[in-house]
Structure 1
Amino acid sequence: MAIEGLAMASVDRVNVHEVIKYLKNDQDQVNGKTALEIIDLIAKDQRFNDKVFYDDEATKADKLLERGGGPLIAEYANMWKCDLDDLRRAGILVNAAVIKPKKALRLDFFLMHATTSCLFLNLFVQSFKKKENQISFLKAKFAIDLLYYVARGRPELNLNYLLNEYQVSKEHSYSDAQNPWLPLVDKSLTHRDEHVPKAIRSLVYAEKFDNAQGKDKLPYLKIAQMIMDTLFPDDEKDWTHEGIGWDEYWKTVEDI
């Protein structure tokens, strides 16, 4: 799988260089900000207002870069304290925490990749012998996550709703199972879109690798169950591609 991933990377789009080339290969653990702190700053930054729009017909990330968004993204990526666990958690929350109270569940297809791409972070970081290469890799991954966060409309992250208020459906709680992950994974494999089991797999491994304890640890199982609630039944539900951060999109989503 690592070989396949490297092969895909070698032929992937090159315009992300308009972000990568502005990154600084340093690490400021004293003054650096967490990923969520940076995302909050980006959500409030009006400089992005004219860089990408809900009704952009072409790929929104491409439009964002064409309009000069690359240096702004890099500016924020360079503020980051560069921590693997912090990056993994942000990659999950930037996807999962976009759900809204009193609205039907929706998840963004592009932000989902911020979660699935976290799967091999530990493997790649450990393969780099030099600290500077580890930092360069992590910062590039974070910068691209930020790129797509902005391109999808800088959605509000409703962390309290996701982590504390959202109630998982009985269908996916598997409260009688000794290990609820097992039936959850089994059902995810039946979905017509392979991205669903990929997302669930990433959460399984994230729970394993996360060194946080107690309340500081994300409820990975609950997040996986919420994803299943969002995407099943699979003949009726799917990821959204419209741009989940814009009010125009949420006006089309039914109230609950």
Structure 2
Amino acid sequence: MTDTAASKTTRLPAHENTDYSVIEKASMSLGHAPSGLLLPGIDKNTEKEATRLCARDYLEHHVFFNNYRFHNHLNHHLLAVFSMGGSAKRLQEIFDGNRIIQRPTMPMHQVEINATNYTEYLAKEEHYPDYVAFFHKELDAAGDEWHAVVSKYISDPRIFPFFMSGAFHPFIQIGYGLEFESKAITATALAQACVHIPDVEESYFPAAFEEMRMNLDNGSANDVSLMQTLDMLRGERAAADIEYKESIFARENTILGSKLAAKYGKLWTVCADEKAISAKYEELLSTAALLYISTTRPGYKQVLDFFVLHCLTSAYFLPIILDVLSTEQKARTLHAHWIVTLSIYSLVGAPQLYITPEHTATNTHAVADGIYGGSANPWLDVFKDAINHNDIHVPKVIRALWRGSILSALQNKDSTEQKALPPVNWLYIARATLDTITMSSLISGSDDRNKGTRFWDKGMLGYDQFWENREKV
């Protein structure tokens, strides 16, 4: 952190690990939504420790951990591991490891944000604590009906693009707040959205959705699958003006990528019908998983892209967030999620997908027995390794794949919607993630790389230049 940044922040004294008063100070509590996933291992002690550590994060840390607006992932890591039954000791280790890089909270301003003026301070990072105070007050005032407050703000077209920006991070934070029934975490999520700089054009969401809806109404819609939209976008990318850049977020590429995403996103139809939305969600999650695992060119070691992974980890939270929305808004939110996924896909160069039989095998136990041996549940080792992994994103990836494995197992294979779903070997992808990502995000990356560990790749995977320095098998 620079001296200038430090001068604008106030480092509160770190609370002792024996100080449980932080829970009341932050009004922090943790519950669990029906759409969330939990494993045995959670007890009253781990729940108390998770609540205390989330309260400390709320009180002590800023939303971004540096001046480049890199996101604070501390409670993401904590709660993902907590949901898998991680011990109190492990939760403390995660907090201590993540805390080192965090920036302290910023001071409140004299201005009071309220329901009338809350859009006047959008995209202004310095007003994050003011937004947290405002949204926490709004949620508390709503009592047991606080989900309606969340729905109101998510549905507000003036700030909806903010929720979908920043590689889905505000969306993910909203998901955590709702999954763990925490008004405090939800307040930070709403505040986080408001201080983002939107990186998706505001008009693309409603315009693409309304054109898709109009085509549905007049009978001219062709229900193109998500895999087909990826193929179509990739075909046009070659003729588009998206140039190879070291940074995928070059402004000119972002604009072109958003236009391509809107153009092809509107071809995917989402009806405002609960059964249809459920089937479309399963298609989205399956496609996100295959996109995540299959961008590695033949002959190269496995590549897992940092930005594509957020399309998968954010998709975990869609059922949780959709639960608080109207049917119409569910359809709009699901559709918008895919448009952002297409935008990210275009920004990483719209790579060819190399889907192998290992990626799509559905008899995962047979495959696992052949590779790993034994007859026990192979997911148990996945969860154990995810709990102990020191990368902040790996446990979230595993949770998304965990959800997918359950949905796939319980699909009604006779329904028209389910027949169109691409098969996914969720276990294989989970194991590939753990075997590929071996670098810790809690210690010096350079030290880790010297030990031969591997991290997420970042870049335009669809271009030859990206692969020039990648390691071959």
Task: Give the drift of 1:216.
Answer: 5.2
Q: Tell me whether 1:16 sits opposite 2:161 in the alignment.
A: no
In the alignment, the residues of structure 1 paired with residue 406 and residue 340 of structure 2 have an alpha-carbon distance, to the nearest angstrom, of 24
Report the residue type matching 1:145 in the other structure. T
In the alignment, the residues of structure 2 paired with residue 87 and residue 147 of structure 1 have an alpha-carbon distance, to the nearest angstrom, of 15
Q: Tell me whether 1:45 sits opposite 2:236 in the alignment.
A: yes
Which secondary structure state, in structure 1, belongs to the residue aligned with residue 285 of structure 2?
Answer: helix
- CA change 1:174–1:160 in 2 (3 A) is closer
Task: Give the drift of 1:59.
Answer: 2.1
Query: What is the aligned partner in structure 2 of residue 212 from structure 1?
Result: 411
Give the length in aligned residue pairs: 248
Task: Give the drift of 1:191.
Answer: 2.7
Query: What is the aligned partner in structure 1 of residue 32 from structure 2?
Result: none
Which secondary structure state, in structure 1, belongs to the residue aligned with residue 267 of structure 2?
Answer: coil
Contact 2:313 2:397 in 1 (8 A): yes
Query: What is the aligned partner in structure 2 of residue 226 from structure 1?
Result: 432
Structure 2 residues without counterparts, runs of 5 or longer: 1-175, 178-185, 271-279, 362-366, 414-420, 441-447
Which secondary structure state, in structure 1, belongs to the residue aligned with residue 457 of structure 2?
Answer: coil
Query: What is the aligned partner in structure 2 of residue 35 from structure 1?
Result: 226
Structure 1 residues without counterparts, runs of 5 or longer: none
In the alignment, the residues of structure 2 paired with residue 103 and residue 132 of structure 1 have an alpha-carbon distance, to the nearest angstrom, of 44
Same amino acid, percent of matched pairs: 24
TM-score normalized with structure 1 length: 0.84
Query: What is the aligned partner in structure 1 of residue 397 from structure 2?
Result: 199
Query: What is the aligned partner in structure 2 of residue 91 from structure 1?
Result: 288
- CA change 1:69–1:152 in 2 (3 A) is closer
Report the residue type matching 2:424 in the other structure. L
Which secondary structure state, in structure 2, belongs to the residue aligned with residue 133 of structure 1?
Answer: helix
In the alignment, the residues of structure 2 paired with residue 216 and residue 55 of structure 1 have an alpha-carbon distance, to the nearest angstrom, of 32
In the alignment, the residues of structure 2 paired with residue 69 and residue 58 of structure 1 have an alpha-carbon distance, to the nearest angstrom, of 10
Contact 1:100 1:161 in 2 (8 A): no
Contact 2:257 2:346 in 1 (8 A): no
Question: What CA deviation, in whole Å up to 9, does each residue of 1:156-210 have, x standing for no partner?
Answer: 1111355269xxx99xx54326221122122123333210111011111122234
2:349 to 140, 146, 153: 153
- CA change 1:57–1:91 in 2 (3 A) is closer
Contact 1:99 1:105 in 2 (8 A): yes
Contact 2:286 2:423 in 1 (8 A): no
Task: Give the drift of 1:70.
Answer: 2.6
Query: What is the aligned partner in structure 1 of residue 313 from structure 2?
Result: 116
Which secondary structure state, in structure 2, belongs to the residue aligned with residue 183 of structure 1?
Answer: helix
Task: Give the drift of 1:220.
Answer: 0.6
Query: What is the aligned partner in structure 1 of residue 265 from structure 2?
Result: 77
Contact 1:174 1:183 in 2 (8 A): no
Report the residue type matching 1:220 in the other structure. W
Task: Give the drift of 1:7.
Answer: 3.9
Contact 2:248 2:460 in 1 (8 A): no
Query: What is the aligned partner in structure 2 of residue 102 from structure 1?
Result: 299
CA RMSD in angstroms, aligned pairs only: 2.8
Contact 1:107 1:240 in 2 (8 A): yes
In the alignment, the residues of structure 2 paired with residue 38 and residue 224 of structure 1 have an alpha-carbon distance, to the nearest angstrom, of 25
Which secondary structure state, in structure 1, belongs to the residue aligned with residue 315 of structure 2?
Answer: coil
In the alignment, the residues of structure 1 paired with residue 239 and residue 206 of structure 2 have an alpha-carbon distance, to the nearest angstrom, of 19
In the alignment, the residues of structure 1 paired with residue 439 and residue 389 of structure 2 have an alpha-carbon distance, to the nearest angstrom, of 8
In the alignment, the residues of structure 1 paired with residue 337 and residue 390 of structure 2 have an alpha-carbon distance, to the nearest angstrom, of 28
Question: What CA deviation, in whole Å up to 9, does each residue of 1:58-90 have, x standing for no partner?
Answer: 724x43234x44333211111002321111112
In the alignment, the residues of structure 1 paired with residue 239 and residue 388 of structure 2 have an alpha-carbon distance, to the nearest angstrom, of 39
- CA change 1:192–1:208 in 2 (3 A) is same
In the alignment, the residues of structure 1 paired with residue 436 and residue 231 of structure 2 have an alpha-carbon distance, to the nearest angstrom, of 25
Q: Tell me whether 1:238 sits opposite 2:458 in the alignment.
A: no
Contact 2:237 2:346 in 1 (8 A): no
Contact 2:283 2:422 in 1 (8 A): no
- CA change 1:139–1:197 in 2 (3 A) is same
Task: Give the drift of 1:22.
Answer: 3.0
In the alignment, the residues of structure 2 paired with residue 88 and residue 39 of structure 1 have an alpha-carbon distance, to the nearest angstrom, of 14
Say which structure, 1 or 2, has more relative contact order (CA 8 Å, 6+ apart): 1
Which secondary structure state, in structure 2, belongs to the residue aligned with residue 179 of structure 1?
Answer: coil
